[in-house]
Amino acid sequence: MNKPTSRPALLPMILAALLAVAAAAPPAPAQDTTSGPVIRSRVFVVNLFVTAASGKNYVRDLTRDDFAIYENGARQEIKYFNNLSQSRDLPLTIALLIDTSGSVADKLPHEVATASAFCKHIVRPSKDMVTVMEFHSDVILVQDFTDDIDRMQKSLSRLRPGGNTSLYDAVYLASEEKLKSEAGRKIIVVISDGEDTASKTSMDEAIKVAQKNDVLIYGLGVRSMNYGADFRALERFCKETGGLFFSPKASFESLKKTFDAIMEDINHQYNIAYEPKNQNRDGTYRDIKVTCLRKGLKLQYRQGYFAPEE
């Protein structure tokens, strides 16, 4: 059998062949830089959920032409519009965050009962999903996303009070780790006495990640008979994301009415989206103002967002 040619012996022959081919080939045409496909930068979209009310009544018959959107004072073109009170085709993805710290121990049974009733009435099997997280000194996933109400209710029955309050961490983790990749309307419902005592995340960081992921936050402030309450953080979470804050009496009936109000608000939203004229991915905060041609209406929506970053 012939011995294989060694690599050093092959190199001169390969180089000579390549030079011969190059000499015989016609010169390559100059690259045409004036035509052909062009790589364009990614366009990002801002997604808003807006409610409109006249007094205590929701207004459900507005159209795209009734709204105007401004970002940092500049008028924006509405690219997408959906009246969700007439078409509930968008799925709901809900993260239910329940404060189980020691300071709300005496109200936990009411929280569990009303949260269970809320999910039972709002979650549509095979369409909507709910996850349950408790927070005290730590944030714990009690039940991953499910549309099985029985499973969700069993997870709520396992909650036990104790520890401090990691409110900011709970909002951050729910927004970034659970809701980030979900579709449709992404909602956090927080039940807490509101005073954070243990988070590693700041309030501003939690708000920023909630806004980045298009999360609406609804807050229920509950008061314990034995501890003080500070609802300023909950109120800010709701205002900055376009949700609502409630401070009912911590009884089953008053909490139930509050959950009914949240369901009512969710079911009377307008979904409006626009492509900002300023497409710079600079991470800056942009103010949002929504106006309505129909006078005398109160509009509820998130007040701004952080632009994406490269």
Q: How far is Cα 283 from Cα 306, in angstroms, rounded to an integer? A: 6
Q: What percent of the chain has pLDDT over 70?
A: 85
Task: Give residue 13's pLDDT band: very low, low, confident or very high (50, 70, 90).
Answer: very low
Residue 52 — φ and ψ, nearest 5°? -125, 135
133 lies in the same domain as 146: yes
- Please check the confidence at residue 303 and state whether its pLDDT lies above 80: yes
Same domain flag for 233 and 255:
yes
Kindly state the average pLDDT of the residues 109-122.
Answer: 85
Determine the pLDDT at residue 282: 94
The pLDDT tens digits for 216-267 are 999 988 877 777 678 999 999 999 999 999 886 656 677 788 888 998 999 9
| Same domain flag for 137 and 177 | yes
| Residue 31 predicted with pLDDT over 60 | no
What the block records as the tokens of 104 is 């709300």
Q: Using CB atoms within 10 A of its CB, is residue 219 exposed (0-12), middle (13-18) or buried (19+)?
A: buried
Average pLDDT over residues 32-49: 68
Q: Calculate mean pLDDT across residues 110-114.
A: 83
Q: What CATH number has the domain bearing residue 175?
A: 3.40.50.410
pLDDT at position 241: 96
% pLDDT > 90, the chain: 61
Average pLDDT of span 121-145: 93
Residue 156 and residue 223 share a domain: yes
**Statement: residue 167 has pLDDT above 60:** yes
Q: How far apart are CA 222 and CA 195, in angstroms?
A: 11
Number of domains present in the structure of the chain: 2
pLDDT value, residue 250: 56
114 and 169 housed in the same domain: yes
User: For residue 253, what are its two tokens?
Assistant: 């009936």
Q: Look at 248 and 12; give whichever has higher pLDDT.
A: 248
Are 284 and 306 in contact, with CB atoms under 8 Å apart? yes
258-292 tens-digit pLDDT: 888 998 999 999 999 999 999 999 999 999 999 99
Owner of token pair 């390969």: 14
Average pLDDT value over all residues in the chain: 85
Mean pLDDT of 16-29: 40
pTM of the model: 0.82
Same domain, 162 and 277: no
**Is the domain of 51 the same as that of 121?**
no
Same domain, 245 and 298: no
Q: Is residue 30 part of a domain?
A: no
Where is pLDDT greater, at 264 or 31? Answer: 264
Averaged pLDDT, 131-154: 94
Both 113 and 262 in one domain: the answer is yes
Average pLDDT rounded to a whole number, residues 106-133: 88
Q: What is the pLDDT of residue 258?
A: 85
Inside any domain, residue 4: no
* Domain presence at residue 38: no
pLDDT at position 2 over 80:
no
Predicted confidence (pLDDT) at residue 195 exceeds the cutoff of 80: yes
For the chain, give the secondary structure using H, E and C.
CCCCCCHHHHHHHHHHHHHHHHHHCCCCCCCCCCCCCCCCCCCCCEEEEEEEEECCEECCCCCHHHEEEEECCEEECEEEEEECCCCCCCCEEEEEEEECCHHHHHHHHHHHHHHHHHHHHHCCCCCCEEEEEEECCCEEEEEEEECCHHHHHHHHHCCCCCCCCCHHHHHHHHHHHHCCCCCCEEEEEEEECCCCCCCCCCHHHHHHHHHHCCEEEEEEECCCCCCCCCCHHHHHHHHHHCCCEECCCCCHHHHHHHHHHHHHHHCCCEEEEECCCCCCCECCEEEEEEEECCCCCEEECCCEEECCEC
Which pLDDT band, with edges at 50, 70 and 90, does 179 fall under?
very high
Residue 262, domain member (yes or no): yes
* Pair (104, 222) in one structural domain: yes
pLDDT for 27 equals: 44
* Domain of residue 297, residue span: 46-87+269-306
Distance, in Å, from the CA atom of 287 to the CA atom of 302, rounded to the nearest integer, reads: 9
- pLDDT the model gives residue 112: 87
pLDDT at 32: 45
Residue 193 near residue 223, CB atoms below 8 Å: yes
Same domain? 239 vs 103: yes
pLDDT at residue number 245:
93
Q: Are residues 117 and 152 in the same domain?
A: yes
Please tell me the distance from the alpha carbon of residue 214 to that of residue 90, in angstroms, as a whole number: 14
pLDDT at 41: 55
User: Which pLDDT belongs to residue 213?
Assistant: 93
